Amino acid sequence: MARIDSPDAQIARVLSHPLRPRILEILTYREASPNEIAAELDVPLGTLSYHTRLLRDAGWIELVREVPWATGAAPMWVATATLAPAAATARSSVFPTASRTCSVSDP
């Protein structure tokens, strides 16, 4: 089967996992390290690294600097300027319930 590389197909691939729009939302408004994002989203660092690598390879996030860290240097990521507004819009239209919270009330 031939791979489709249209811009729409790339957007669909990038947004196909609900964690990626959440990462983009964070990086649209500020720079953050993988440790900060993983803690904020309550996901394992390995999982977050996989998804940030896909976003980086697609050109949706970029490395802005590295901060000295106890074990080396922590990369600081930010959403690319051209895709940041589109990512925020796409997240709300593709995953409209992702930003809503549910609460359970006691009977």
- Asked whether residue 105 carries a pLDDT value surpassing 50, the answer given is no
Q: Mean pLDDT, the chain, as a whole number?
A: 75
72: alpha, beta or left? (left if phi > 0; alpha if psi -120 to 50): left
CA dihedral for 23, 26, 30, 33, sign (positive or negative): negative
Is the pTM above the cut of 0.85?
Answer: no
Q: For residues 95 and 89, what is the distance between their CA atoms, to the nearest angstrom?
A: 10
Residue labelled with tokens 């500020």: 30
| Residue 67 bridge partners (DSSP) | 74
pLDDT for the residue numbered 88: 52
- Asked whether residue 68 carries a pLDDT value surpassing 90, the answer given is no
- Asked whether residue 42 carries a pLDDT value surpassing 90, the answer given is yes
- Asked whether residue 19 carries a pLDDT value surpassing 80, the answer given is yes
Q: For residues 38 and 43, what is the distance between their CA atoms, to the nearest angstrom?
A: 5
Token pair recorded at residue 49: 């690294």
pLDDT for the residue numbered 6: 72
- Asked whether residue 27 carries a pLDDT value surpassing 60, the answer given is yes
Token pair recorded at residue 72: 């080396």
Residue, of 54 and 87, whose pLDDT is higher: 54
pLDDT category at 10 given cuts 50, 70, 90 is confident
pLDDT for the residue numbered 100: 41
